[in-house]
Structure 1
Amino acid sequence: MNWLGFLIPTLVILLPLLSLLLPRRRDVASPVSARASALALYRHQLRDLDRDHENGLMDAGEVSRAELEIQRRILAADRLQETTFRIQSHQRLRFAVLLVALPCFGFALYLANGHPSLPAQPHKTSGVNVPPAMQALFEKLDRQVASMTPDDLEYVRQSVLLGQVDEALNRPDDALRAYRQALSARFIPELAVQIAELQTQQDGHISAESLALYRKALDAAPADAPWRLAVEARIAAGEHDQNP
């Protein structure tokens, strides 16, 4: 971010509000007033009376009495005063101070944690604080998987669990290694898709390896797999990237 990148959007956002500070030559009528609303309502009611009379819903006597009542209300509503508003000088001053104070406070809040000259910091680099007790359990799980062989019954499940822990702790490289260990022992379409997705996030694009995993997972997936359409879209995007 640079200084112009901060100042220009701020001025563009505040520009429409500056019109409220301009002096007005006369009072401005409120766009919606009680008098105008009442007169419009009663005139509409008069038209409804004529329509009901033509349709035979009301006789002449009822229409006459209703018209007299509505006309009385129209006369009363016509005496209502139109409301106007004006921005007083002290209100304009307070508004001007607010317009200046808001961007200043926002800029001060930004400077408390950053500076326009600082490079962008990706969110994924932020660490995850793990309590010591949980860290001990994770390390124990890591040792258990390391001591297993692909022939062990729990090897795949424990490796996937280890990968999920590493992914939650923002250790994508370790998570990919654990997932691939499990996939090499037994091919699971959903796990292959998960590996391809994580690898794509790491690479920033669909690599040839990830594309091959998507294709293999799609071939081995059941026909009613809910993620088939998403994987097909990934394959199409990957093929487009491989053959621009």
Structure 2
Amino acid sequence: MTLWFVFALMTVAAIFAVLWPLGRRARAQSQGSEGQGSEGQDSEGQDTENRGSEVAVYKDQLTEIERDLGAGLIAAPEAEAARVEISRRLLAAAAHEPAPVPKSSLKWRRAAAVLALVGLPLVAIGVYMPLGSPKLQDFPLAQRGSGSGMARSLETLVVQVEQHLEKNPTDGRGWNVLGPVLERLGRFDDAARAYRNSLTYNGESAERRANLGEALSAAAGGVVTAEAKTEFERARALDADDPKANYFLGLAAEQDGRKDDAATIWRALLAKAPADAPWRPVVQSALARVGGSGGALPALPDETITASRDMSEGDRGAMVRGMVERLAMRLKQNGDDVEGWLRLVRAYLVMGDRDKAMGASTDARQAIANDAERLRQLNEGLKTLGLDG
């Protein structure tokens, strides 16, 4: 009830702001009319009349000078000097002459008053009813600046592309652009439809088949369904080394309970992967999850492995701890290595030291806080290790 009372006060204030100048103008004009119609005019009215007569006199003098100059009654230099002086006086008199005040029509003032009294509330209600609600929650300023602009730009792009594709449904390039954007917005069913149309109008490719499988899996809540698995198998048939297809086929094996098969697929994928592949940490984390080594500990040279066979269990553990400490020291000096941070976190987890693993994950996030892509890779890898908090 208080909110509606405040709205009513705001409406009254807006109406008053419109009517107040109209009322003042009307009073001022009526007072001016009465003053001009009275028999005894004041000194200001007399001054105005005098200035008006001065202007007329100066104009007549200029005309007379031109007439005398034409008749030869005055020399040209004298005529020019008189013309300059009279023109100066004319300008001074004209500058003080008041401009005529337009008379406002009473009919239009009444119409404006009625519009303010009736129109303003109606317009306010008409705008508020479809758009506003007193029950809506607030939208903090911090949330307005974080990602909202990008979301709106993506939604605008989607609308534009969809409108284009309604008129040109065979535009394969348009479907190719639309699919990833829809997937990023969480519209996985629509993304799958876009990928199917992309396959129809662009032709077969491992990438398009893998993208379709990923959209189908995302629509199923991360489960690699039979339909999605078929798409990944088709992608691998087109390109045996396609990383997305192999990763999800390994994930399908893991979800089916075949962890050994999943580990085999992921090990083969890592063996062929470039050292700087952006998805490498994700696959390594998945491999560690199913019991594979996944690079949990720093890689050991062949001679070190040979020497460790003759070590006692305690010496071997000390050697591993030393390698982990050296890895931690290296990452403190160069914190850009996402894969190194994930190896360190996994090493601490394997050694049973979860507190150090949590500390390393915090240090890693701080080290790459200014690199959005690396931070995303790190968070994905930590999530697979159960440290997504």
Coarse TM-score class (shorter-chain normalised) = 0.3 to 0.5
Q: TM-score, normalised by structure 1?
A: 0.39
- Bigger CA radius of gyration: 2
Structure with higher helix content: 2
Task: State the TM-score, normalized to the length of structure 2.
Answer: 0.27
Higher relative contact order (CA 8 A, sep 6+): 1
